[in-house]
Amino acid sequence: MAVVELEGLVKDYGDVRAIHGVDLRIEDGEFCVFVGPSGCGKSTLLRMIAGLEEISGGELRIEGERVNEQRASERGLAMVFQTYALYPHMTVRQNLAFGLENIKTPKAEIERRVGEAARMLQIEDYLERRPKQLSGGQRQRVAIGRAVVREPSVFLFDEPLSNLDAELRVTMRGEIAGLHRRLGNTMIYVTHDQIEAMTMADKIVVLRAGVIEQAGTPLELYNMPRNEFVAGFIGSPRMNFVDAVIDSTAGDFVTVRDASGNRHKTAVDAHGLSEGEEVRLGIRPDHIVVDSEGSGLSVTVGSVEQLGGESYIYCEAAEGTFLTVHLDGQTKIRRGDEARVVFRPEFTHLFRKSDGLAQRRLVVGEAV
């Protein structure tokens, strides 16, 4: 078990800087998820921690000890790859034992640990098979087993579930979370799927273009996104954004005016805002209310998704602003209908257009 500390970590590929000085502390036993769009550098960062990519600058410490110069084989971490990377010429048993043989573990000890891991991951029945003869889910288990037998201080996962079908992904997600509870090791998990991040993480690190946009617990990120990017990335379906200008900052609410002249109240700190400043109003689909007779923003329904227990309507307000609205249960709204929607003030987010940063929310509607 170990604390992993990243200090000003930099990665250059020739003249291109892929990672721009990342500072992060991952606590002992923490399940930390790196999440971000593809190309954001999350896998690179993981491979730098693993020792598979050279560190161009900064310092990486595991258990307080600088490991920049250590090879992957010396750092004592274990990694599960997206492609599983099982050795095709070895049986499952040999795959599991390979790492232990390399550090000259006694035969009996290897036998014991392989047996234990196989039992834990329910792969005992096919220890003598080759990876080719296994299904995707079984291969995934073997890949995890290969990491488990080594009893490493830190587990690294590089998008381990992205090659599985949706159903299996949910199952394996639960199993990895269960594994973390049982073993209590530090785990670093890379994914582009924010649902995986939300469901498994103790701490989520949102990355964009080699920079940490925000790090925190899943609900911190959901409730208090630091900027527009994080707000848009966390939560599914994604948050709606409406261009607006500040109308007034008086009282407990900030009032903004959208392009069609509607006024919306939002419960955020007015500090630093000036009247007439361009902003973006953010609201999640769950917090938009369809108001059949009332005032509100008038929209045209573009399409309706009925999932039975819930419904989503995709509609367009004036001037090409698209909104996704979540409704509980089933709805009678049809494609082409006109409707009026109202934003609930205690659920709205406000971002400055100039730098995308969020204003502090005074009331967090979700947490009440």
Partner 1 sequence: MFSFLTRTRGRGRFDLTDWLTWIYLFAAIFLMFGPVAWVALSSFKTEAALQEYPPRLLPLAPVTTTVEGHEEPLQLYRVTGGEHEGRVLAQIRRIGLMAQMVDPENPDERLQVSINDRQPVREFALATENYSRLFQRFNFMLYFWNSVFITVVATIITVLFNSMAAFALSKYRFRGRTVVFILIIATLMIPPTINLIPIYMVVSQLGLVNSPWGVIWPAVATPTGVFLLRQYMLTIPDDLLDAARMDHASEWRVYWKIVLPLSAPALAVLVILSVMWRWNEFLWPLIVLNRQEEFTLQLALNSFQGELQTAWSSLLAMTMLTLLPITIVFAFLQKYVTQGIAQTGVK
Per-residue x/- marks for partner 1, 304-343, CB under 8 A? Answer: ----------------------------------------
CA dihedral angle for residue 68, residue 70, residue 72, residue 73, rounded to 10 degrees: -170
Q: Which of 24, 32, 67, 78 binds partner 1 (CB under 8 A)?
A: 78
- Residue count, binding to partner 1 (CB under 8 A): 25
Q: Is 232 in the site for partner 1 (CB under 8 A)?
A: no
Q: Is 16 in the site for partner 1 (CB under 8 A)?
A: no
Of 96-104, 107-115, 160-168, 341-349, the segment contacting partner 1 by CB under 8 A is 96-104
* 182: three-class secondary structure by DSSP: helix
* H or E element at residue 338: strand 338-343
Residues 295, 285: contact at Cβ < 8 Å? no
Q: Is 56 in the site for partner 1 (CB under 8 A)?
A: no
* H or E element at residue 90: none
Token pair recorded at residue 207: 């990355």
Q: Which of 12, 57, 69, 87 binds partner 1 (CB under 8 A)?
A: 87
CA distance 255 to 343: 12
List the one residue out of 327, 329, 287 whose CA is nearest residue 308: 329
Q: Which of 65, 102, 302, 335 binds partner 1 (CB under 8 A)?
A: 102
145-204 positions binding partner 1, by CB under 8 A: 146, 150
* Of 100 and 301, CB closest to partner 1: 100
Q: Which residues pair with 248 in a beta bridge?
A: 255
Residues 313, 193: contact at Cβ < 8 Å? no
Q: Which of 14, 38, 71, 276 binds partner 1 (CB under 8 A)?
A: 71
Q: Which of 36, 41, 51, 210 binds partner 1 (CB under 8 A)?
A: 51
The amino acid that residue 290 corresponds to is: V
* Of 58 and 99, CB closest to partner 1: 99
Q: Is 135 in the site for partner 1 (CB under 8 A)?
A: no
CA distance 105 to 251: 69
Residues 60, 24: contact at Cβ < 8 Å? no
Contacts of 120 (CB under 8 A, 6+ apart): 145, 148, 179, 182
Q: Which of 30, 58, 98, 151 binds partner 1 (CB under 8 A)?
A: 98
* Of 163 and 223, CB closest to partner 1: 163
Of 67-75, 238-246, 249-257, 263-271, the segment contacting partner 1 by CB under 8 A is 67-75
Residues that bind partner 1 (CB under 8 A): 47, 50-52, 71-74, 77-79, 81-83, 85-89, 98-99, 102-103, 146, 150
